[in-house]
């Protein structure tokens, strides 16, 4: 019984740190389906980071999310949903990612609420964070305005 309690406390810490890392980088957390709908209704480009507690999220995806946005061109809006935590928000966001299977961590770039491209887990896991940054910045070059 003690193991479960300790494990839950440990996971709460992991989740809290994962949330803090991405919000500290400038991303807005979307925790409900309504949050997602409101954010995706905005005109312009939106980068969605689908966060998770897996190692490749902490070691690759969140650092890439943080670094990629320090660039000449970047999305108008930076948001995040947390797979496995904010289930309603994540499910609603994934409805917008037409043609892409659920994947976390991942990044989706939308324009006026329509999916343009994704960087999926298989393009993150086992890759260097800078390779992910390059993929994101290529998408920014093609689709975003200079800041």
Burial of 105 (0-12, 13-18, 19+ CB in 10 A): buried
Q: How many CB atoms lie within 10 A of CB 86?
A: 22
Count other Cβ atoms within 10 Å, centred on residue 2.
6
Exactly one of 25, 30, 50, 54 is catalytic; which is it? 54
56 classed as catalytic: yes
Identify the three-state secondary structure at position 109: strand
CA distances from 118 to 5, 20, 138 (A): 37, 23, 12
Q: How many CA atoms lie within 13 A of 14 on its CB side?
A: 17
Active-site residue flag, 54: yes
Q: How far apart are CA 33 and CA 105, in angstroms?
A: 19
Q: Which of 25, 56, 109, 133 is catalytic?
A: 56
Beta strands in the chain (DSSP E): 28-29, 45-51, 77-82, 106-111, 114-119
Which residues are the active-site residues? 54, 56
């Amino acid at each position: 019984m003690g193991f479960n309690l300790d494990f839950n406390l440990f996971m709460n810490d992991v989740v809290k740190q994962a949330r803090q890392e991405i919000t500290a980088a400038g991303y807005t957390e979307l925790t409900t389906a309504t949050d997602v709908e409101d954010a995706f209704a905005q005109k312009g480009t939106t980068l969605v980071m689908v966060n998770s507690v897996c190692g490749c999220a902490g070691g690759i995806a969140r650092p890439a999310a943080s670094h990629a946005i320090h660039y000449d061109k970047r999305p108008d809006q930076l948001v995040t949903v947390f797979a496995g935590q904010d289930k309603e928000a994540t499910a609603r966001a994934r409805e917008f990612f037409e043609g892409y299977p659920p994947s976390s961590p991942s990044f989706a770039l939308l324009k006026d609420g329509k999916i343009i491209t994704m960087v999926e887990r298989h393009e993150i896991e086992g890759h260097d964070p800078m390779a992910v940054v390059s993929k994101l910045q290529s998408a920014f070059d093609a689709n975003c305005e200079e800041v």
